[in-house]
Amino acid sequence: MRDAVLDVGSNTAHLLIVDAHRGAPPLPAASMKEPLRLAEHITGSGALSEVGVDALVAFIGGALAEAEDQGCESVTAFATSAIREASNSEEVLALVSEKTGVDLMVLTGEDEARLTFLAVRRWFGWSSGRLAVFDIGGGSLEMAAGTEEHPDVAQSLELGAGRLTREWLPDDVPSSADVRSLRKHIRAQVAREAGSLLRAGSADHTVATSKTFRSLSRLCGAAPSDAGHYVRRLLPHAELVKWLPKLAAMSSDERADLPGVSAARAHQLVAGALVADAVMDIFGIEALEMCPWALREGVILQKLDSL
C-alpha cells in the first residue's frame, strides 16, 4: 500500500509518502516539507497567531494534493507540541478540519517518545538489547528506554531547541551569561528526570533521532546524508564539547554555512547542542548512534501493526 503521514511539528511540517506493508520496512517514495516555525507564531497570550494558522492550512492543502497525486490510499496526520500547547488549539484543530477535511491527531509528549522508540527498535532490532532513545524537537526533548518494542519509560521535557532559543537566547550571537544560564536550566531539568531511566538499568545501546542530533553528528564528523541510511553515524561527546564554544560565538548565518546545518534551524543550534551535551554528560554517554527513523516512521509502523 502507498500511504502518507503528515507531521505538523513545532519547526517544520513534513509530508512523508511511503510504500509499506506488514513485515517490511516502509520505503520512502516522496516527501515535501516547509519550515512553518509554528512555535514562533505563538502570541503573548499563548495562542497560535492568525499568520501561523493560515500557513498551516495552506501547507496541509498542498500536502493533500501531493498525496493524491502520488496515489496515496490515506493520510495519517498528527501534531506535536506547538499545537498541543497553544491556548487556542481546539479552535485551530476545528478550523483545519473545516478548511481541509483533515482531523489532526494531537500527540502527547509521551506518545512522541513511545512511537519514536518503536521506530528505533524496529530499525536496530532485538540484538541492540536495552535501548535508550533521545530526540530533540523544536518544542520538547523526548527520552525513552526499554528492552521491548514499547519502552519501560517514556518522558517528554520542555527542552526543545526552538523553545529554549526563543525563551533564553534572544541575541543572534548569544552572550556568555545567557549561555551559562540556559546550560544550568537544561541540566537541572534533565537531572531531575534522569533517575527514572537510570533506575531501570543501563542501556546496551544509546541512540538519537531527528534533525538536531543529525546536524550535530554531521558537524562532529559523521558521513553526509547522501552517503545513505545504512552508514553508521555517531555523535561523540568529546567532539561535541569542542564545538560548543565555537557555535556559541557564531551568528546564525555562520552556523548555516557549517556542514549538515540548514538555514532554517541554524538559529537554534546552540540550544540544541546544550541539550545534547547535558543528556550525554548526565547519562554518561560517550557516543550516541544516529537512527534515520523517528516519529513519522513510528506512526506508520503502529498503523501497519493495527491493520
CA–CA separation, 11 and 36 (whole Å): 6
pLDDT at 201: 85
Tens digits of residue pLDDT in 251-287? 999 999 999 999 999 999 999 999 999 999 999 999 9
Q: In Å, what is the CA distance from 128 to each residue of 131, 141, 158, 245, 272?
A: 7, 22, 28, 33, 26
pLDDT at 199: 87
Contacts 24+ apart (CB under 8 A), 255-264: 258/219, 259/218, 259/219, 259/224, 260/214, 260/215, 260/217, 260/218, 260/219, 260/222, 260/224, 260/225, 261/215, 261/218, 261/219, 262/211, 262/215, 264/11, 264/12, 264/35, 264/37
pLDDT at 17: 97
Rounded mean pLDDT of 150-179? 96
Distance of CA 125 to the CA centre of its chain: 21
Which residues partner with 290 through β-bridges? 208
Rounded mean pLDDT of 233-241? 98
pLDDT at 256: 97
Backbone CA torsion sign across 294, 296, 301, 306: positive
Does residue 245 carry a pLDDT above 90?
A: yes
pLDDT at 20: 86
Q: What is the CA radius of gyration of the chain?
A: 19
pLDDT at 171: 97
Cβ–Cβ < 8 Å for 93, 83: yes
Q: In Å, what is the CA distance from 6 to each residue of 17, 25, 149?
A: 9, 18, 23
Tens digits of residue pLDDT in 100-154? 999 999 999 999 999 999 999 999 999 999 999 999 999 999 999 999 999 999 9
pLDDT at 200: 80
> Sorting pLDDT into bands at 50, 70 and 90, what band is 21?
confident
CA–CA separation, 239 and 287 (whole Å): 10
Under 8 Å CB-to-CB from 249, ≥6 apart: which residues?
173
Under 8 Å CB-to-CB from 233, ≥6 apart: which residues?
214, 217, 218, 222, 223, 289, 290
Residue ranges and CATH numbers for the domains of the chain are 2-106 (3.30.420.40), 109-295 (3.30.420.150)
Rounded mean pLDDT of 45-57? 96
Does residue 307 carry a pLDDT above 90?
A: no
CA–CA separation, 141 and 194 (whole Å): 13
Does residue 23 carry a pLDDT above 90?
A: no
